[in-house]
Amino acid sequence: MTPDGMTPERFETLAEAYGGDVARWPDAEREAAAQAMAARPAWAQAALARAGDLDAALDAYGPPRAAAGLMDRIVADAPTPRRAWRWTGWLAPAGLGAGLAAACAAGMILGARLSTPAIPETDSVVTAVTADDTGAYPDEEA
């Protein structure tokens, strides 16, 4: 038993389970492990080195590489659920502007209509409208 209470058996169990790097051992036991190492450094180093050899062998087995295009395929699967919302967000100010523009236009038309009777409907005006509607001037038809 070491002064901190960690037995050599426990130290070896941890090395066997979590490997030769004490930084990867459970948080709650690292302090006691450090004290055990200080108390019996040669023995502790031998236990850690043995576990470390297996760690190194494990590290030789690398992960598979992603095939070309895998990331793009995954990204393509991602939905864009807020795209409609974003368009709405973009359109909101535009809609407001359009509303104001429409209101202005309506006001102008109404104003024009209200003011029309003040303008005398002379023959020339009626003739011009008639010509626009038919596409031909009365003089040309005559």
Partner 1 sequence: MGDPDEELLSRVATGDPAAVRALVARKLPRLLSLAGRILGDRQEAQDVAQEAFLRVWKQAPKWRPGAARFDTWLHRVALNLCYDRLRRRREVAYADPPERADEGPGPDRGLMAADTGRRVGAALAALPDRQREAIVLCHYQELGNIEAAAVMGVSVEALESLLGRGRRALRAALADMKEL
Footprint of partner 1 on this chain (CB under 8 A)?
A: 13, 16-19, 24, 26-27, 51, 53-58, 60-67, 70-71, 73-75, 77-83, 86
CB of 1 to partner 1, least distance (A): 20
CB of 96 to partner 1, least distance (A): 23
Q: What is the rounded distance in angstroms from the CA atom of residue 80 to the CA atom of residue 3?
A: 60
Provide DSSP, 118-131.
GS---HHHHHHHHH
Provide the 3-class DSSP secondary structure of residue 41. Answer: helix
- Give me the amino acid identity at 77: D
Residue 51: how many other CB atoms lie within 10 Å: 20
Compare residues 53 and 121 and give the one whose CB is closer to partner 1.
53
Compare residues 12 and 131 and give the one whose CB is closer to partner 1.
12
CB of 88 to partner 1, least distance (A): 13
